[in-house]
Amino acid sequence: MYYITKVWRYDEPQHGRYREFHQFGIEFIGSSSVRADAEVLAVGVEALRALNIGDFRVRINDRRVIDQILGKLGISNDLRPGVLRIMDKRGKVPDDELLKMLRDLGLNNDTSQEVLKLAGTSEGIDKAIDSFREFGVGDEFIKYYSELIELLDMYGIRSYMDLDMGIVRGLDYYTGIVFEMYVPDYKLSVGGGGRYDNLIEIYSGKPMPASGFAMGIERLLEVLEQRGSLKRGLPQVDYYVYVLSNERNHLMLGYKLASNLRYRGSKVIVDTGEKSLRSALEYASKINVRYFVIVGPKEVSQGLVKVRDMSSWSERDVPLTEFGINA
């Protein structure tokens, strides 16, 4: 399934991180296969490619692997969620502060240093197997990542992937692969996700493996603006209808004209009569109007309206019949 929607989070608002924002994402529900994880990663890469966003990286890790390594470091199960949350802060908080947080959690200095070293391990995905072996990761995960790398190669996206063992994602429901998408010169991730095999069962009572991702629309817009490939502005209004007279027949004609244009798919503003003609023209220019239509008594008596092209500032008389109105 996929979605494009408004979402909320309980957080302190800051640059690129809002309580209310928009995101799009996909969820691959019902499969625990490594092929499903590869498919999710492939869709994420294709989405960023389609945006012509330029260079980007997908940083991959695995909660199962991290959990196994933390176990080898002698970190108890009850401390691991706290350790993961601290690891998730790497890059956002100075290392000295992270070490203090780990010690405050109850870890000794040597173990804290090892956790920080783990969180700082980052390299191309092709070296993931060697790093896992160095950390003493079990054969089942070596097999999984060997297959994943091969699948990523089949999709033609392996070159976008890095192993980053500091990527743990702050939410506790992840159960396997986790990843985040980054672009150069932008400090925040533009998207992220992973595998969450137990989450749906918590709410439905039915075991249901799943994997997915979400991307932040506001962040992507900001990146595109920084690269000059997107310029925000007011959407163009096709017609601005200005009725010179307050007579009932002329007002009815203005509303009829606007209604016909909207029916044809045009975006139309009808002036409320509070602006002078000059002020209305200035306002129409400011809000990116394409055509300014003047419904005046003289023109209407001849079955016409005056239409001004706001880009060329040229003006012509147009028969009402062109707008589907019989004079």
Q: What is the pLDDT of residues 207-251, one digit of tens each?
A: 999 999 999 999 999 999 888 877 767 778 999 999 999 999 999
Residue 201: per-residue pLDDT: 96
Residue 40: per-residue pLDDT: 98
User: Treating both helix axes as pointing N-terminal to C-terminal, what angle do 80-87 and 95-105 enclose, rounded to 10 degrees?
Assistant: 170
Residue 187: per-residue pLDDT: 85
- Quote the CATH superfamily of domain 237-323: Anticodon-binding domain (3.40.50.800)
- Quote the CATH superfamily of domain 2-226: Bira Bifunctional Protein; Domain 2 (3.30.930.10)
Beta strand pairing call for 304-309 and 191-195: unpaired
Locate the DSSP E strands across the chain. Answer: 2-8, 20-29, 57-62, 122-124, 161-164, 177-182, 191-195, 210-216, 237-243, 268-270, 289-295, 304-309, 314-319
The residue with tokens 């191309």 is 124
How does the average pLDDT of the chain come out, rounded?
Answer: 92
Please list the residue range(s) of the chain that carry CATH number 3.30.930.10: 2-226
Residue 120: per-residue pLDDT: 86
pLDDT at 327 over 70: no
Please list the residue range(s) of the chain that carry CATH number 3.40.50.800: 237-323
CA-nearest of 174, 171, 145, 149 to 160 is: 149
* Mean pLDDT calculated for residue range 181-192: 92
Residue 234: per-residue pLDDT: 72
Strand order in the sheet with 289-295: 268-270, 237-243, 289-295, 304-309, 314-319
H/E element holding 146?
helix 139-155
| % pLDDT > 90, the chain | 73
